[in-house]
Amino acid sequence: MAYHEADAGDGTTREEQFLKGQKLFLCICSLMLILFLVALDQTIVSTTFTEVGKDFGSFDKISWLISGYMLASASVVTVYGKLSIVFGRKYSLLLAIFLFELGSLLCAVSQNMTMLIVARVIAGIGGGGIQSLTTVVASEVVHMNRRPAVMSLFGIVFAISSVLGPLVGGVFTTKVTWRWCYYINLPIGGFATALLLYAFNPPRPKFTWSKIREIDYIGISSFMAGIVLILLAMSIGGINYPWNSAAVICCFVLGGVSLVVFSIWNFRFSSNPLIPYFVIKVPGVFVCTLVYFFTFCNFMTLVIYGTLYFQTILNRSAFQSGIDTLALIIPLIVATLISTGLVQGSKQVKPVIIIGTILGPIGGGLVTLLDVDSSLSERIGLFIISGVSLGIQMQTVLISAQLAAPKQASGLILTTVVVNFSRSIGGAIGANLANTVYSVTFSKKIRPYTESSIIRIPDSVLLNSPDAVLSLPENLQELVIEKLMESLRATFYFGLGCASVAFIISLFVSNDKLPKKEKKLEVTETPDLSQDNKSLSLDKSIEFINVHSKN
């Protein structure tokens, strides 16, 4: 039997989009290169804080280099999913690459902190689309039975680049200039784009003005406004403004109202909803989005603040801290490869996911044992279990969601986009909340010393500049490092909580298995996604056709 997925979203069956040979290889390589740059860009800036702050004289806004990027990236993921269905995946992905490259160029030539932050937002708008659409395109050109292997490669690329970010950033910052952290995106991104243009050539979608009317402008506007305002409140709360300040409260209230308006409009009135009800009502999809959300909250916490532990507490250089984080990345890579083999060999996905989520809280608990005087063997050992846990979950959760995806038109595409959105928003919220925990805890612990003028350097500078800590007398250095370690431990406890929630939710993941034999699935009707047609029967929208294949 042969299993073929139908409906690529542009009037063709997806079986016509499967690539083979050289074009498949080059297409996957181009997607991995683009994803590599985007994931690298999320963490590469962490080692440039000191130099950028010195160049622009603005340490108080330095955290926005990460927050601005993640705010923009998380808010546009689902928007790109809708645009890709209307205008085609290739052109939507090319738009995302263009915006990411434009933002990178503007970052590299920035003349002040404001310009740099705006450029990071532009890069984030492109990066969000790339994170979403690279997986969608890969799902279109690769058959389901081979998809776990490809997705595992994507997971490895994402993890490696996220951890390599501080290392590469450190090399550029210390050996050349921090601006090369952004210049590097231009030649590599251009080469990847050329490969994509050659290898990925789906049928060109027919443009009509009716397609413009298919875009849900009210839904997109209210959704993006809600996400940005909520994340903005999390970014400034307790750091730039007190939690009970008017600015923070207004952001939370307006953001919440915007999301309520979006939900009512999207699920009750929109004829072309941004997040179709027929996708998220599937338990197997909804549960996977929650697991991915909390898993990536934990992942970003470990990557960002694990690196910070080595740099701030142990006074390791950016390059050395990148080497130190191999204790997390090597187990992650090995676990990803092994879990892929287990899934493909057994066709079982849920048991593998459960193993990964069980290890999550165990690894999270071990990381909280890190201390100022932890030995090399302790630092390596305490990170290994977390790396294994994250490696197992990195792509198996997405595969489970795709197996449970509704078989209606564009069901797989929208499922992939929604799950990737949960990854992006989980990483953004995780990074913001972890930063809040870290900053607020440190400010609370160091405030008695700064207010009494024992330490005359502002706590915001001590947080972001290891050089500032080293400028203090030795006894005060030890005091500050101790308080920083206590703040980092509180942040690791936050990651532990996220991993624990992910484990509980993963118990409800779908039991769907990879198909042992191939079947042909053909969509015979594209369902209207309006409210009146949300009850469209699956039996009416798809037709199974059994075909014999050669043994």
Amino acid 294: pLDDT: 95
159, 253: one domain: no
Beta carbons of 99 and 118 less than 8 angstroms apart = no
Q: What is the largest CA-CA distance in the chain?
A: 82
In a domain, 414, yes or no: yes
**Tokens 């009800």 sit on residue:** 277
**492 and 346 fall within a common domain:** yes
Is residue 550 situated within a structural domain? no
Q: List beta partners, residue 241.
A: 237
Asked if the structure places residue 85 within a domain, the reply is yes
Pick from 433, 474, 440, 473: which is nearest to 459 by CA? 440
> Under 8 Å CB-to-CB from 49, ≥6 apart: which residues?
59, 62, 65, 464, 465
Instruction: Confirm whether 209 is domain-assigned.
Output: no
CA distances from 334 to 326, 329, 344, 392, 495 (A): 12, 9, 16, 9, 22
Rounded distance between C-alpha atoms, residue 265 and residue 260, angstroms: 9
**What is the pTM (predicted TM-score) of this model?**
0.77
Residues 54, 373: Cα–Cα separation, whole Å: 30
CA neighbor of 185 nearest in space, from 163, 165, 215: 165
Output the pLDDT for position 206.
Answer: 66
Distances (CA, A) of 58 to 50, 112, 123: 10, 9, 21
Q: Tokens for 326, please give them.
A: 């191999």
Residue 229 and residue 155 share a domain: no
Shared domain for 105 and 21, answered yes or no, is yes
Q: Which residues of the chain have pLDDT under 70?
A: 1-17, 50, 58-60, 144-145, 204-211, 239, 318, 409, 464-465, 516-551
Query: What's the pLDDT at 209?
Result: 62
Q: Give the pLDDT of residue 359.
A: 94
Q: Is 545 left (phi over 0), alpha (psi -120 to 50) or beta?
A: beta
Kindly report, residue by residue over 132-166, the tens digit of the pLDDT: 888 888 878 877 667 777 877 887 887 778 777 77
Sheet holding 542-545, edge to edge: 2-4, 518-523, 542-545
For residues 436 and 175, what is the distance between their CA atoms, to the nearest angstrom? 31
In a domain, 372, yes or no: yes
Q: Which of 49, 73, 48 is nearest to 61 (CA)?
A: 49
pLDDT of res. 347: 84
Each residue's pLDDT tens digit, 273-328: 878 888 888 899 999 999 999 998 998 888 888 888 887 888 887 677 777 888 88
Total structural domains within the chain:
2
Q: What distance in Å separates the CA atoms of residue 61 and residue 64, rounded to the nearest whole number?
A: 6
Question: First-to-last CA distance in the chain?
Answer: 9
Q: From CA 176, how far away is CA 251, in angstroms rounded? A: 40
The strand pair at 542-545 and 2-4 is best described as unpaired
* pLDDT tens digits, one per residue of 374-416: 888 888 899 999 999 998 988 889 888 888 888 776 777 788 8
* Cβ-based neighbour number of residue 44 at 10 Å: 27
- Is residue 384 situated within a structural domain? yes
Q: Is residue 151, in this structure, part of any structural domain at all? A: yes
The whole-number pLDDT of residue 308 equals 82
| Spatial contact of 181 and 168, defined as CB atoms under 8 Å apart | yes
- Does residue 380 share a domain with residue 519? yes
Q: Are residues 9 and 77 in the same domain?
A: yes
Beta strands in 59-113 (DSSP E): none
Domain final residue pick, 229, 250, 271: 271
Let me know whether 233 and 177 are in one domain.
Answer: no
Residues 233 and 339 in one domain: no
* φ/ψ of residue 3, rounded to 5: -110, 115
Structure token digits, residue 378: 């302790």
Domain-terminating residue out of 271, 290, 317: 271
Q: Cα-flanking dihedrals φ and ψ of residue 465, to 5°?
A: -130, 100
Look-up of token digits 């930063």:
435
Q: Which residue has the tokens 């050659």?
A: 198
205 sits in the region (left: phi over 0; alpha: psi -120 to 50; else beta) called beta
Residue 421 backbone zone (phi > 0: left; psi -120 to 50: alpha; other: beta): alpha
What's the confidence (pLDDT) of residue 407?
Answer: 79
Give the pair of three-digit tokens for residue 431.
């990074």
At 283 the three-state DSSP class reads: helix
Same domain, 442 and 497: yes
The answer to whether residues 379 and 324 touch, using CB atoms and an 8 Å cutoff, is: yes
Do 302 and 397 share a domain, yes or no? yes
In the prediction, which pLDDT does 541 show?
36
Kindly give, in sequence order, each residue whose CB lies less than 8 Å from that of residue 501, ignoring residues fewer than 6 positions away: 294
What is the structure's pLDDT at 102?
A: 95
- 402 and 458 belong to one structural domain: yes
The per-residue pLDDT for 94 is: 92
The answer to whether the CB of 18 falls within 8 A of the CB of 143 is yes
pLDDT of residue 521: 43
- CATH number, domain with residue 366: 1.20.1250.20
207 in a domain, yes or no? Answer: no
**Domain termination site, one of 254, 271, 288:** 271
- The boundaries of the domain holding residue 229 are 216-271
Neighbours of 253 (CB within 10 A): 12
For residue 286, give Cα distances in angstroms to 339, 405, 422.
Answer: 22, 10, 10
Fill in the amino acid letter for 446.
I
* In a shared domain, residues 221 and 297: no
Give the model's pLDDT for residue 551.
37
